């Protein structure tokens, strides 16, 4: 169980589930050919999850002193799992994931694409060792990696089968992936900032330069409130423009109930939040909003089939 906690198995399950929803709840119902077989796609999901797991491990290794202050009851490295074992797992997961990445890149006849996996591994290592100590850079890096776990589906499943004859149709699907990636990026960026607000005590001890340390928790809260409000309004506009206007009423109702409503609740709570417990709750809320947002792709597919 300690190893499962070390790799944040719940977060990994969410990442895997999101990628599976895109493939089997959305892409499979579009009138397009997909390049990867189901087994190859599951390997892509496995590689993504392995890299994320390795990222959590290296982060815990580098964060041991901070975690003793921020979350002493949830420390794994140095207690349940030795630092040496942590490093071994980190290397094993990354080497396996990069190996799978290069194999899949050869499957789609784009061997250089394997470099994508090395880049993601490098970003996560840099985040754990240096970026998270710099103002906003760490937050941006983590948000970017999550959004890329969405875009990578299009890169491996759609791009190899994109030709002049179907470029417009593929472009529409790619743009939808981009919309979801931007949605995941913005909300995960907000979540990372909220987590910094939650962890401000330990981060101060380690002389980090996170946003709450640089400008204070109160000012950071107002910035997150403002960004959250803008994100909520953009979501409302998006639902009205692309779902309501196309008479996708199930998807519209789903979006309003499971994405916009909790987002507005987040914004309201953010205005008054001051305690570690409140920030933890808001961080968790954003995680679920991201998940339900991704799940909307399957709801849209269902609605389109019903509508037709």
Helix (H) or strand (E) holding 222: helix 217-238
Bridge partners of 45? none
Contact 154, 160 (CB under 8 A): no
Query: Alpha-carbon distance 96 to 47, whole Å?
Result: 7
Q: How far is CA 287 from CA 51, 55, 262, in A?
A: 19, 18, 11
170-215: pLDDT as tens digits: 999 999 999 999 999 999 999 999 999 998 887 887 778 889 999 9
Q: How many CB atoms lie within 10 A of CB 30?
A: 16
Contact 202, 70 (CB under 8 A): yes
| HEC secondary structure over 83-134 | HHHHHHHHHHHHHHHHHHHHHHHHHCCCHHHHHHHHHHHHHHHHHHHCHHHC
Token couple for 194:
């909220």
Phi and psi based region of residue 109 (left: phi greater than 0; alpha: psi -120 to 50; beta: remaining) = left
Residue 67: per-residue pLDDT: 63
Of 49, 22, 51, nearest to 34 by C-alpha is: 22
pLDDT < 70 positions in the chain: 65, 67-74, 78, 308
For 131-190, the DSSP string reads GGGSTTHHHHHHHHHHHHHHHHHHHHHTGGG--GGGHHHHHHHHHHHHHHHHHHHHHHHH
């Amino acid at each position: 169980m300690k190893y499962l906690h070390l790799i944040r198995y719940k977060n990994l399950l969410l990442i895997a589930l999101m990628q599976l929803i895109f493939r089997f709840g959305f892409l499979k119902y579009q009138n397009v050919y997909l390049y990867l077989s189901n087994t190859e796609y599951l390997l892509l999901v496995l590689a993504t999850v392995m890299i994320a797991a390795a990222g959590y491990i290296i982060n815990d290794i580098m964060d041991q002193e901070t975690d003793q202050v921020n979350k002493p009851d949830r420390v794994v490295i140095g207690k349940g799992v030795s630092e040496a074992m942590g490093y071994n797992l980190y290397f094993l997961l990354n080497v396996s994931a990069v190996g799978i990445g290069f194999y899949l890149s050869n499957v789609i006849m784009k061997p250089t694409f394997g470099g994508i996996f090395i880049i993601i591994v490098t970003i996560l290592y840099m985040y754990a060792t240096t970026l998270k100590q710099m103002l906003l850079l760490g937050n941006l890096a983590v948000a970017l990696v999550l959004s890329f776990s969405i875009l990578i589906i299009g890169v491996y499943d759609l791009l190899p089968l994109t030709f002049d004859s179907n470029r417009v149709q593929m472009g529409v699907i790619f743009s939808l992936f981009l919309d979801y990636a931007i949605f995941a990026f913005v909300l995960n960026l907000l979540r990372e900032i909220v987590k910094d607000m939650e962890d401000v005590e330990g981060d101060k001890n380690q002389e980090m330069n996170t946003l709450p340390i640089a400008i204070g928790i109160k000012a950071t809260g107002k910035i997150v409130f403002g960004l959250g409000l803008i994100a909520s309004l953009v979501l409302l506009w998006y639902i009205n423009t692309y779902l309501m206007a196309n008479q996708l009423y199930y998807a519209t109702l789903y979006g309003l109930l499971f994405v916009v409503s909790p987002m507005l609740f987040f914004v309201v709570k953010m205005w008054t939040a001051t305690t570690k417990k409140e920030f933890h709750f808001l961080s968790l809320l954003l995680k679920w909003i991201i998940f339900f947002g991704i799940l909307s792709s399957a709801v849209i597919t269902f609605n389109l089939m019903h509508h037709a």
